Each structure stands twice: as structure tokens, then as C-alpha cells.
Amino acid sequence: MSADRPRRVAIVVHAAFPADPRIRRQADTLVEAGYEVDVLCLREDGEAAEERDGVVRVVRLPVRRRFSGFAGHLAEYLAFTAVAGLRLTREFRRRRYRLIQVATLPDFLVAAAAAPKISGVPLLLDLHEDMPAFFDDRFNAPALRPFKQVVRGVTRASAAMADHLLTVHEPLRQLSIARGVPPDKITVVMNSPDERLFNAESVASRRFMEDGELRLVHASNLQRIYGLSVAVQAMARLVDLPVRLEVYGDGPYRWEIEAAIAASDVADRVKLHGRVPVEQLPAILAGADAALVPSLREPYLQLSLSTKLLEAVAMGVPVIASDLATFRTHFTDAAVRYVPGGDPSALAAAIRELAADPAVAATRVREARRQAEPYAWRIQAARYLEVVDRLSARGSP
């Protein structure tokens, strides 16, 4: 390929960069394969409008994440789609992309790529989540029910506009097929942790309860659906056990978590650390005796596979997780200690069991790492590159 026609890919995502780990892994993979990458993303306070992150060009658009109810979500999504469409069209005239990748949510963000698509540039839609399930979970007021069919129609139209789809796991792929997407138009590229960072052999691990205390860790965006309040209630049932829960992350549900901690009188054993860079998470996990993934049993989360679960498995940490369909699709009872979602008593009992019999937990760790071998990022990256190479070859300027 001639030097004056570089392989350029634009990634459009309604998220922060480099904070979004999936987009960061994909961009790194593309750069290592010889692509030039532009990422068009949100711009938060204090961030530069444009900069280089290594060799990745980051274009931050003047839209911030300020969700507030259905109207707030819709307004923000529409504003970002419009601004991204204008900027992407302008960039395309100059940068002549070979491929446009759009990451959800929302699915209708594909509209931002309309001009390059009309010009013959292939469009790759990366489904991080299922938009109809997201809508059903967040906006279930009776007045909004008529919008459900609209959302489902937009989801189908977005998939039809794309040349190819990626999904983060097989259940989401099967759901797309059930909605009429041809099977050969969808590839699973899991949201797996980068094993170069999440490598249990590269970080000193804590011996189980080496200081006499059971140290638990939970990392997530603090949203109601991720069940941290259930973990707080479970901690209140463990007053006779030397146990501490370290929480990493932030979000709109933080104030309710703080209230739950105060009401449960567990402030001395549950600590909210706030957000930390992803580079710090391997050491945090290695310093824990177990990871909690107490997501609620809701339809939206039945289609979710927690990246934090995969990261804990990669770091050789025992996992206690809610019994959700997609979790079970990837890990059996032999690998993960499952509990009913939303049940603090069951979660407390599983924590007690862990403290009483760490040998069983160690056996689960070994089995979880064995079952996770096909999910390694090096395997997922190869699938991703195969799709990008095939599509970008069609998008020659």
C-alpha cells in the first residue's frame, strides 16, 4: 500500500477517551497493526479539544455527559450525534478514512457516519449494550411505553445501515440474529481485559486473609443496577466477621450508597475510594481476597457480562457474583460462586463460606482461569482485526 494512502480508521463513541477501556484496547490494537486512528468522543471539564494519546488522535466534541431522565438522555444523545456527524463529515474530507466504527449506546449514533457511508466508506457498528433492554430498564414509566417500539425500530434500522456488527458476547449476537440480522454479519469481540495489563504473574498477590481480615473489592460505575447497596446490606449481616469492602468507582448513585452505608452502620468496614485509573486496578485486585459482582436480577443485566468479573478472573481472584444468564453462559458454578441477585442474606452467606473454606475458592479460581482462556484479548483482538482488515480493504479512498 502506498505511503500517501494510509489506512485510517475513525471511531465515534459517546464516552470519554482514553477512559473507555474497550475503545482504548481497540485503538491500541489498530495502531499495532499499522492503522492511523482518530477517536471522536465526549469532552469533559479540563480536557483538551484535540490531542494525541500516543499515536491516536483524539478529537473531543463539545458535549458532556449530563444524563437526567429520559429527556436528558435523548437530548444528549441527539446533540452528540449531530455534532459528531458534522465533525466526522469535515474530517472525512481531509482524512479519507477507510472505515468508520461507531460504538453504542445509542445505536442511532450510526447516523453521524451517513456522509462517509454514502461516499462508500464501510460502517462497523460495535454494540456494547442492547439499546432496547437499556431503554426498558431505565425508562419504564407508563407514558414512555409507546416509545419502546420506536427504540426497537431504531435498533433494527441502525443494524441495517451498518456493513458489519460487533457484539460483546454471544447472547447479544443471538439476540441480534433473532431481530433479523444475518448471522454472517455479526462477529463477537468480547470486552476482555488486556492480559498485558491484567497479568496475575506481574503483580504481587496477597495471601488469603494474611492480616487476619477478609478484604473484598467491588469496582464499577455506581449505578443502582450494579447492586452495591445489596453488598452494603450484606456487610451489615457480617458484624462478627473481620471483613472490609473496598469500593472503586463513582457515579450518580453514590449519594444513595453513602446513605445506605450510614443507615447500615458499616462506615468503618465499607470505604468508597472513587475512580482510579485502569492501570491501578490489577494491583488493587491482587491485594484483595475476593471480588464482588452483586448486579441486580433485571432484564437489562441478563444481557450484560461484567468486565470487572473478567478482570478479577484474569488476576486470579475468587469471584462472588449474581446468578445472571450471561454470566452463566461464560462461567459455570465450578468457576464462580453464584448467589441470587438482590439477596443480601445469600451474599453474606457466600462471604462467610469463603472465609471458612478458602481452598474451595482457590479451586474455583483455577477453573475460572481455565474457562476464560478463549476470552483472552489476544484472541478477541485477532477477530477484531480480521473484521477491520476485511472492511477497510473495501474502503480504499
Q: What CATH number does residue 32 fall under? A: 3.40.50.2000
Q: What is the pLDDT of residue 3?
A: 46
Q: Are 289 and 166 in the same domain?
A: no
Is 3 inside any structural domain? no
Distance CA 282, CA 215 (A): 15
Average pLDDT over residues 301-318: 91
Average pLDDT over residues 222-250: 93
Spatial contact of 376 and 192, defined as CB atoms under 8 Å apart: yes
Q: Are 330 and 357 in the same domain?
A: yes
Average pLDDT over residues 263-276: 93
Is 340 inside any structural domain? yes
Q: Are 174 and 239 in the same domain?
A: no
Q: What is the pLDDT of residue 4?
A: 54
Q: Are 96 and 187 in the same domain?
A: yes
Q: Are 361 and 274 in the same domain?
A: yes
Average pLDDT, the chain: 91
The pLDDT tens digits for 84-113 are 999 999 999 999 999 999 999 899 999 999
Residue 1 reports pLDDT greater than 50 = no
Half-sphere exposure of 339 (CA within 13 A, CB side): 26
Kindly state the cell numbers that stand for 36: 492511523
Q: Are 102 and 251 in the same domain?
A: no
Angle between helices 377-394 and 21-32 (to 10 degrees): 60
Residue 18 reports pLDDT greater than 50 = yes
Is 2 inside any structural domain? no
Distance CA 299, CA 154 (A): 20
Q: Are 147 and 180 in the same domain?
A: yes
What is the percentage of the chain residues whose pLDDT exceeds 90? 73
Q: Are 239 and 338 in the same domain?
A: yes
Is 113 inside any structural domain? yes
The pLDDT tens digits for 125-158 are 999 988 888 888 777 778 887 888 888 999 999 9
Is 1 inside any structural domain? no
Is 211 inside any structural domain? yes
Q: Are 230 and 327 in the same domain?
A: yes
Q: Are 389 and 367 in the same domain?
A: no
Half-sphere exposure of 55 (CA within 13 A, CB side): 13
Is 67 inside any structural domain? yes
Is 329 inside any structural domain? yes
Number of domains in the chain: 2
pTM for the model: 0.87
Q: Are 161 and 19 in the same domain?
A: yes
Distance CA 277, CA 111 (A): 32
Strands 50-53 and 56-61: antiparallel
Residue 318 reports pLDDT greater than 50 = yes
- Provide the residue range defining the domain that includes 69: 8-192+376-394
Q: Are 245 and 359 in the same domain?
A: yes
